[in-house]
Amino acid sequence: MMFHSRRADAPALSAGKPVDDIAPRAPFTAPASTFGLQEKARTGHHSIVDEHLNMKGDLESDGDILVKGKVFGNIKCKLLIIDTDASVEGGVIAEEVIIRGTTKGTINATRVKLEKTANVDSEICHQTFAAEEGARITGALRFAEEPLEEDVGRLNSHAA
Least Cα distance to 109 among 121, 98, 89, 94 occurs for 94
Domain tally, the chain: 1
Give the chain's mean pLDDT: 78
Whether residue 103 is contained in a domain is answered as yes
d(CA 90, CA 104) in angstroms, rounded, equals: 6
Give residue 129's identity as a one-letter amino acid code. F
Residue 129 has pLDDT above 60, yes or no: yes
pLDDT tens for 9-45 read 444 444 444 444 444 444 433 334 434 444 443 444 6
Main-chain dihedrals φ then ψ at residue 93, nearest 5 degrees: -130, 120
More confident of the two residues 149 and 13: 149
**pLDDT at site 118:** 98
Confidence at 7, pLDDT banded by 50, 70, 90? very low
Residue 150 has pLDDT above 50, yes or no: yes
Whether residue 114 is contained in a domain is answered as yes
Buried b vs exposed e over 114-132: b needs ≥16 C-beta within 10 Å?
bbebbbbebbbbbbebbbe
Whether residue 160 is contained in a domain is answered as no
| pTM score above 0.85 | no
Whether residue 21 is contained in a domain is answered as no
pLDDT tens for 49-89 read 999 999 999 999 999 999 999 999 999 999 999 999 999 99
The answer to whether 101 and 117 have CB atoms below 8 angstroms apart is: yes
Residue 148 has pLDDT above 60, yes or no: yes
Domain span at residue 118 reads 44-147
The residues that bridge with 129 in the sheet, in sequence order, are 112
**pLDDT at site 151:** 60
**pLDDT at site 152:** 52
Least Cα distance to 58 among 73, 39, 48 occurs for 73
Whether residue 12 is contained in a domain is answered as no
**pLDDT at site 27:** 41
What is the share, in percent, of the chain residues with pLDDT greater than 90? 64
